[in-house]
Amino acid sequence: MQIEPQAFDRVLSSMCTEPHPVAREAAERFLATNPGDPGTYPAISSLEDEAIERLGEIAGLADPAGYVTSGGTEANIQAVRIARERAETATPTVVMPESGHFSFQKAATLLGVDLQLVPTDDDHRADLDAVRACVDDDTALLVGVAGTTEYGRVDPIPELGDLARSVDAMLHVDAAWGGFVLPFTDHDWNFDHAPVDTMAIDPHKMGQAAVPAGGLLVRKQSLLDELAVDTPYLESTSQATLTGTRSGAGVASAVAAMDELWPAGYREQCTRSQANAEWLAGALTARGYDAVTPELPLVAADVPAATFEALRDAGWRISRTGTGELRIVCMPHVTREMLEAFVADLDELGSH
Ligand code: 0PR
């Protein structure tokens, strides 16, 4: 019996989406290649250089360095590792708003650094006063999120950059999800806007590449060199990635998607997704549910637990924020028709 993958027609909470057809095709062609061994697989290795060039363009970084990771988690772990390697203190800490992704908990545990969480303000953004009170000479890394997982919020990145510089810490921006929509907004989020040292920006989320294709960007090559280990028996002499064998499929599909969609295709998608999010937030508000204004294409709203469960039982793949709000991510596969069907079910099943 063949097991079918989850169909996307009721998936509303995932940050995965259907890859663009050109990304799917490229993934298949490069399925058996390993960019971890550039001496043996030079074609995928040069495609990876292209991927980093493109990601640099998207994130406002001329002459970028970095590599295609397995996802945002790996990019975040590596950013913490770079900061720890460069720290001059014996007890390095990472300061992050509580809206940061749980991958930083993994990074902190793995790397033996102390993760200090600071509160967010009433609109779910990093509270600058709280960050200011927390940073000190032990701070190796300050994290800002550009497109938070729960509310799609963008932290004040330039101000966080100033705070990082004031204590000689590095600044990492987690744009794993937001990186492919933020170029079409007014937010200051990228290397051009602030003294950003490292960034997570994932083609396999809003970039419409196949999984696995995350992105780690660093402002200069010497930062990546902090991660390098010697690889004596390979033709290339060192490796900066966390994993050894990597997916050439992810790399090739990221390049194919970015070649096809940057910038016009991504702009159109961003406009469509944002309009859908605003429509949904309006529909929820009109029905008496408290919805957080969607700044990026992600909607959070207060829906009673019983209603949430009924919607899940009806087949909708939805999730909740840490404080229990319904959370819907308007990924490229989420159409207006899907949202209309969802709201119709909500009208039928709702119990508020
Ligand atoms: N940074 C941010 C801001 C994220 O939202 C995520 C993932 C990561 C980093 C980690 O990225 P990777 O999962 O690629 O390592 N956020 C999603 C989440 O936690 C991940 C996800 C994706 C969850 C698809 C469910 C799903 O179906 O919600």
pLDDT digits 0-9 by tens, 319-331: 999 999 999 999 9
Please give the Cα distance from 255 to 51 (Å, whole number). Answer: 5
Please give the Cα distance from 196 to 201 (Å, whole number). Answer: 13
Q: Which atom of ligand 1 is nearest to the CA of 148?
A: 3
The CATH fold of domain 263-350: Aspartate Aminotransferase, domain 1 (3.90.1150)
Please give the Cα distance from 64 to 50 (Å, whole number). Answer: 10
Given a contact cutoff of 8 angstroms between Cβ atoms, the answer to whether 56 and 89 are in contact is no
Tokens at 285, concatenated = 């508000």
pLDDT band at 234 (very low <50, low <70, confident <90, very high): confident
pLDDT band at 237 (very low <50, low <70, confident <90, very high): confident
pLDDT tens digits for range 135-187:
999 999 999 999 999 999 999 999 999 999 999 999 999 999 999 999 999 99
Please report the pLDDT score of residue 249 as a whole number.
98
pLDDT band at 236 (very low <50, low <70, confident <90, very high): confident
Please report the pLDDT score of residue 280 as a whole number.
98
Tokens 């295709």, located at residue: 265
> To the nearest whole percent, how much of the chain has pLDDT over 90?
96
What's the 229 CA to ligand 1 centre distance in angstroms? Answer: 28
pLDDT band at 302 (very low <50, low <70, confident <90, very high): very high
Please give the Cα distance from 130 to 311 (Å, whole number). Answer: 38
Which ipTM score applies to this complex?
0.97
Please report the pLDDT score of residue 216 as a whole number.
98
Please give the Cα distance from 161 to 189 (Å, whole number). Answer: 10
What's the 15 CA to ligand 1 centre distance in angstroms? Answer: 6
Q: Where are the alpha helices (H) located in the chain, listed in sequence order?
A: 21-29, 42-58, 72-86, 103-111, 128-134, 157-166, 221-225, 248-261, 264-286, 305-313, 336-349
pLDDT band at 314 (very low <50, low <70, confident <90, very high): very high
> In this model, does residue 352 exceed pLDDT 70?
no
pTM of the predicted model, to two decimals? 0.98
What's the 102 CA to ligand 1 centre distance in angstroms? Answer: 9
Please report the pLDDT score of residue 235 as a whole number.
79
The CATH fold of domain 21-234+245-261: Aspartate Aminotransferase; domain 2 (3.40.640)
Domain ranges of the chain: 21-234+245-261, 263-350
Q: Using a 6 Å cutoff on CB, does residue 198 contact ligand 1?
A: no
pLDDT band at 6 (very low <50, low <70, confident <90, very high): confident
Q: Using a 6 Å cutoff on CB, does residue 341 contact ligand 1?
A: no
What's the 112 CA to ligand 1 centre distance in angstroms? Answer: 23
Q: How many CA atoms lie within 13 A of 160 on its CB side?
A: 32
pLDDT tens digits for range 62-71:
999 999 999 9
Tokens at 114, concatenated = 């102390």
